[in-house]
Amino acid sequence: MRLLHTMLRVGNLKESIDFYTNIMGMDLLRQSDHPDGKFTLAFLGYGKESENTVLELTHNWDTDSYDLGNAYGHIAIEVDDVYEACERIRAGGGKVVREAGPMKHGSTVLAFVEDPDGYKIELLGAK
């Protein structure tokens, strides 16, 4: 297993990318628009995404700002098999809050589980 990324929701994607690249020294690794879901994803980091944990910025087109309390999104963990990981986590007493399957606006197979405090953890299969 490997920690993949942490996601933050942002109100102004251009401003956030500028901050993380120009002030924090990260590289913009990739960016994609999802018109059906009305959101844009931008991934930033200090090295190749295949070798490092990165930051995912999510800009929901209909939202200009967030309260600090709801800006945190999730962490992501790479697993060999998302379906098997959900069963293993459930069998161990963990809570699966989004069953394994393709994402709503794409084809990536994912799932979400909750830690004891209610923080979301996204499970993704190896690419």
Residue ranges per domain, the chain?
2-125
Question: Which of these, 119, 77, 85, 118, lies nearest to 101 by C-alpha position?
Answer: 85
pLDDT of residue 67: 81
pLDDT of residue 41: 98
Burial of 53 by CB count in 10 Å (0-12 exposed, 13-18 middle, 19+ buried)?
Answer: middle
Overall pTM > 0.85:
no
**Which architecture, in CATH terms, is 2-125?**
Roll (3.10)
Please give the mean pLDDT across all residues of the chain.
92
Whether 122 is catalytic is yes
User: What's CA 27's distance to the chain center, in Å?
Assistant: 17
* Angle, CA 48 vertex, CA 35 and CA 123 arms, to 5°: 60
pLDDT of residue 127: 73
pLDDT of residue 118: 87
Under 8 Å between Cβ of 73 and 4: no
Kindly give the parts of the chain with pLDDT less than 50: none
